[in-house]
Amino acid sequence: MRIQSLRSPSGPLSFGAIVDGVRLRSIRSDSPEFFELRDAWHEFGLLIFPGQFLSRDEQDDFGRLFGDLEFEAAAITNLRRDGSTRSDVDDDVVKSLRGNEGWHHDSTYMPVQAKGAVFTAEIVPDSGGATGWADMRAAYEALSDEDRDRISELQADHSLEYSMGRAGYLPTANEEGGYSFYGYHGGPAPRRPLIKEHPATGRPNLNIGRHAHNVSGLDDAASETLLDRLNEAACQGDRVHHHQWAPGDAVLWDNRRLMHRATPYDMTQPRRMWHTRIAGDPATETALNY
């Protein structure tokens, strides 16, 4: 197995690695390859595995090596069952896909934030559709002393309904007046600190993204201004990497450290990805108010 740190034209990135010479479908929980990958995952946050061509069961089995699953492989796609594509901006699935173009951590709007994810490519468009990741550990380290002190005790609510509404992508209400999509749920918005220690590395990370709002002690305008500034500054330079997919590629990322986002593509062309989400440990990833 060969693990190579990601680089940009200007030099090394603060995170991420490409892994060759390993067959993910063959790894077992007691194999040396697993322990090497687990350590690399904690070190790099993002591992990219070209040309794996995993089945959905194989993808889920690989994800389970790192923890219980929040959900098994689910299609992230603009394809209907009849093979036609969705591109109408009023289509609720298109709204969900476009909403994912904002930087975010997965499941911060749920009571327990996800640990990570395995993501694979089955069908990709001719161009566009890359996935980006941003390193929130390095973003925290890049903060000024003044900003670190200011936000050290601050908390924010996290809501998918908030983020989709702000972006203009709320889905159509169902007959009961609610939403049938994953993440629209009752109960209070989960409240999370803006700075969170990673449970495996002990390193502090920013925990922000598009779902965060209503910062403690600030009015709505000041809260949005602060969070927008933090998000913009965090996702810059050698803290960001965008992967242009090829069919069969697989990635594993650490949702406790990295934010991610989708990027636009021509939705008249088909795209189908598969997302297996690794559940967070309730002892460390449960919201403060749950």
In a domain? residue 6: yes
Tokens of 152: 């050290």
Confidence of residue 187 (pLDDT cuts 50, 70, 90): confident
Helix and strand numbers (H, E) in the chain are 8, 15
Torsion of CA 157, 103, 96, 216, to 10 degrees: 10
Q: Are the C-beta atoms of 243 and 17 separated by less than 8 Å? A: no
Number of independent structural domains in the chain? 1
Give the contacts of 57 (CB within 8 A, at least 6 positions apart).
Answer: none
Q: Is residue 288 situated within a structural domain?
A: no
pLDDT of 269 over the 70 cut:
yes
Contact between 212 and 218 under an 8 Å Cβ cutoff? The reply is no
pLDDT bucket at 9, cuts 50 / 70 / 90: confident
Reply yes or no on whether the pLDDT at 175 is more than 70. Answer: no
User: Does residue 289 lie in a domain region?
Assistant: no
pLDDT (tens digit per residue) in 84-122 = 999 999 999 999 999 999 999 999 999 999 999 999 999
Report yes or no: 174 and 147 within 8 Å, Cβ to Cβ.
Answer: no
**Mean pLDDT value across the chain:** 95
Q: pLDDT tens-digit profile of 140-170?
A: 999 999 999 999 999 999 999 999 999 999 9
Measured distance CA(207)–CA(196) in Å, rounded? 6
The DSSP code for 250 is E
Are the CB atoms for 88 and 94 separated by under 8 Å? yes
As a whole number of angstroms, the distance between CA 105 and CA 53 comes to: 26
Report residue 225 as tokens: 């201004």
Round to whole Å and give the CA distance between 119 and 253. 8
State the pLDDT confidence band at 179, using cuts at 50, 70 and 90.
Answer: low
Angle between helix axes 160-167 and 92-99 (nearest 10 degrees) is 100
Residue 226 tokens, joined: 């602060």
Q: Which domain holds residue 234?
A: 2-280
* Spatial separation of the C-alpha atoms in residues 103 and 105, rounded to whole Å: 7
- List the one residue out of 56, 47, 57 whose CA is nearest residue 22: 47
What CATH number is attached to the domain comprising 70?
A: 3.60.130.10
For residue 218, pLDDT over 70 is answered with: yes
The answer to whether position 290 is within a domain reads no
Does residue 116 lie in a domain region? Answer: yes
Backbone angles phi, psi at 98, to 5 degrees: -70, -35
- Convert the pLDDT of each residue in 53-83 to its tens digit: 999 999 999 999 999 999 999 999 999 999 9
147-157: b (≥16 Cβ within 10 Å) or e: eeeebeebbbb
Quick one: pLDDT band at residue 172, thresholds 50, 70, 90?
confident
For strands 250-254 and 116-123, give the pairing: antiparallel
- Taken in order 98, 103, 108, 114, the sign of the CA dihedral is positive
Residue 286 located in a structural domain: no
In a domain, residue 238? The reply is yes
Gap between the Cα atoms of 109 and 18, Å rounded: 30
Give me the percent of the chain exceeding a pLDDT of 70: 96
Burial call 48-83: b when 16+ CB within 10 Å, e when fewer: bbeebebeeebbbbbbebbeebbeebeebbbbeeee
